[in-house]
Amino acid sequence: MIILYTFIEEGKHQYLLDKYAEICSKEFNAKILKYRRWQDAQLSLLGRVLLRYGLNHYFDIKDFEMSRTSDHKPFITDHAIHFNISHAGNLVACCISRSPIGIDVEYIDHKINYEDFKSQMTSGEFSKVYHSEDKIKSFFTYWTEKEAIIKAHGRGLLIPLRSFEVFQDQAVIENEKFFLKEIFIDKEYQCYVASNEDIRQQKNHIEHINLNKL
């Protein structure tokens, strides 16, 4: 499993747009240009750039096309390679694997009121957060675990967060078991990856990609 990440930089924005305009599809470029904030545009663009970098350097895939499942999850056509992209704050991360994968990163916002999300938690999950020593850290652990699993499953918002619960880094959705692993990227962010393959003891390649390298 390959995990690549980088941080956005305003000073690099036009350079990145110019460099990758010819590489990305017309549809993707049009999507990028619709964003009002440069931050959102660059996060989306860098997700695709990290994917291209990872496929090229670690799987020897230089050209690829993307399609979407009936549930709108993007996938690479003609290659048995899975990927997932997540971004939050100034961070974007891309995970690439030979098995279905989901990754979620969240900025640990200490101003958040975790009780606003009580309706999306099971009673056990809320109790765990409520009684934890660091409630904000516990909340973002809960959130990234759930989101990573849902993304690995591939049906997105069709899976309610309250419909399953995580126990010992495992969860079951529609009779399919998923495994979780925490990934440390930065102290200000929480990150988990999930897969239907047991990745808990798996060694991962985690790489920070400097924008000057792209």
Distance between CA 33 and CA 74 in Å, rounded? 20
Distance of CA 140 to the CA centre of its chain: 14
Distance between CA 206 and CA 15 in Å, rounded? 25
What would the mean pLDDT of 125-135 be, rounded to a whole number? Answer: 96
What would the mean pLDDT of 161-172 be, rounded to a whole number? Answer: 93
Dihedral Cα 28, 42, 100, 160, nearest 10 deg: -100
Can you give the pLDDT at residue 66?
87
Can you give the pLDDT at residue 158?
79
Coil/strand/helix, residue 75: strand
**Residue 70, C-beta contacts closer than 8 angstroms, at least 6 positions apart:** none
Structure tokens at 211: 């924008």
Can you give the pLDDT at residue 26?
83
Longest dimension (CA), the chain: 52
**Residue 129, C-beta contacts closer than 8 angstroms, at least 6 positions apart:** 114, 121, 135, 138, 139, 142
CATH 3.30.70.1520 fits 2-213, yes or no: no
Residues listed for the chain: 214
> For the whole model, what pTM was predicted?
0.94
| pLDDT tens-digit series, residues 28-80 | 888 888 999 999 999 999 999 999 999 999 999 988 888 888 878 888 988 89
Q: Is the pLDDT of residue 160 over 90?
A: no
| pLDDT tens-digit series, residues 20-36 | 887 788 888 888 889 99
Can you give the pLDDT at residue 155?
78
| pLDDT tens-digit series, residues 176-210 | 999 999 999 999 999 999 999 999 999 899 999 99
- The domain ranges of the chain are 2-213
Question: Could you tell me which residues are beta bridge partners of residue 171?
Answer: 178
